[in-house]
A and B are shown apart, each in its own frame.
Chain A
Amino acid sequence: DAKTTQPPSMDCAEGRAANLPCNHSTISGNEYVYWYRQIHSQGPQYIIHGLKNNETNEMASLIITEDRKSSTLILPHATLRDTAVYYCIVRLPSNFGNEKLTFGTGTRLTIIP
């Protein structure tokens, strides 16, 4: 799987949009971009994923550049509960359950009141 690069930490004011960047310059054509987050003392939580097109769900939006070498996770109105470590992961399509989801070091996002 391709490796990802994320800033180690970011701050965002409560109520503002949080934009978390991820670089995946070696991504291959069939690898998906996934985002998970881990709030302190909890397990990782799935947020969103995409292949080529921008995606939006009730939690966040995912913007993938046209060359697919980078992406941005957007939390439109950050709240204190969004303080967490955010992981950007690239994954090959599942091989009938035989796959390794590999976490990088992630971005520690702190929402400031």
Chain B
Amino acid sequence: DTEVTQTPKHLVMGMTNKKSLKCEQHMGHRAMYWYKQKAKKPPELMFVYSYEKLSINESVPSRFSPECPNSSLLNLHLHALQPEDSALYLCASSQVVSNNYNSPLHFGNGTRLTVT
């Protein structure tokens, strides 16, 4: 079991659809992340939120729109996706700490997205 919950587990959408992925954690973590993972590849960072504000955007196309409505929730809104966007989308969270320490990331089990 993981302390980061992602819904739905699986999603199939057409290229004209609008859908959203949801991520929730109740560990009091104030940093939240979206990663994308293609088959047999390592996860790739997409976005980082720190204290509910977007702090890192790894040049992700605008058809992916993140949102952090509160400290426990992270959404990823999807619109006009392409078949090559099919992947496992992973959410993670971590404590926000000072420059002298690292806090491990806690990952959810992901949403497997298929774009048709």
Task: Say which one of A18-26, A61-69, A71-79, A101-109 lies at the interface with B.
Answer: A101-109
Contacts of A49 in B (CB 8 A): 102, 104
Name the one of B45, B96, B102, B107 contacting A44, with C-beta atoms under 8 angstroms.
Answer: B107
> How many residues of chain B have a CB within 8 Å of chain A?
34
Whether B106 is near chain A, meaning CB under 8 Å from some CB there, is yes
Interfacial chain B residues near A34, Cβ < 8 Å: 102, 104
With both beta carbons as reference points, the residue of chain A lying nearest to B112 in the complex is identified as A41
Contact for A43 among B44, B45, B107, CB less than 8 A? B107
B107: min CB distance to chain A, Å: 3
Which A residues lie within 8 Å of B97 (CB)? Answer: 94, 96
Distance between Cα atoms of A91 and B104 in the complex (Å): 10
Q: Is the CB of A94 within 8 A of B101?
A: yes
A104 neighbours in B (Cβ, 8 Å): 42
**A95 touching B99, Cβ below 8 Å:** yes
CA A41 – CA B10 in complex, angstroms?
A: 12
Assess whether B109 is in contact with A41, with CB atoms less than 8 Å apart: yes
We find that the number of chain A residues with CB closer than 8 angstroms to chain B is 26
The reply to whether the CB of A45 lies closer than 8 angstroms to some CB of chain B is yes
Task: Check B109–A43 contact: CB distance below 8 A.
Answer: yes
Contact B96 A97 (CB under 8 A): yes
Q: Which residues of A contact B (CB under 8 A)?
A: 32, 34, 36, 41-46, 49, 87, 91, 93-106
Q: Which residues of B contact A (CB under 8 A)?
A: 2, 4, 30-31, 33, 42-45, 48-51, 55-56, 58, 90, 92, 94, 96-110
Pick 9 A–B contacts, CB within 8 A, sort by A.
A41-B109, A43-B2, A43-B92, A49-B104, A87-B42, A94-B102, A96-B98, A97-B49, A100-B48
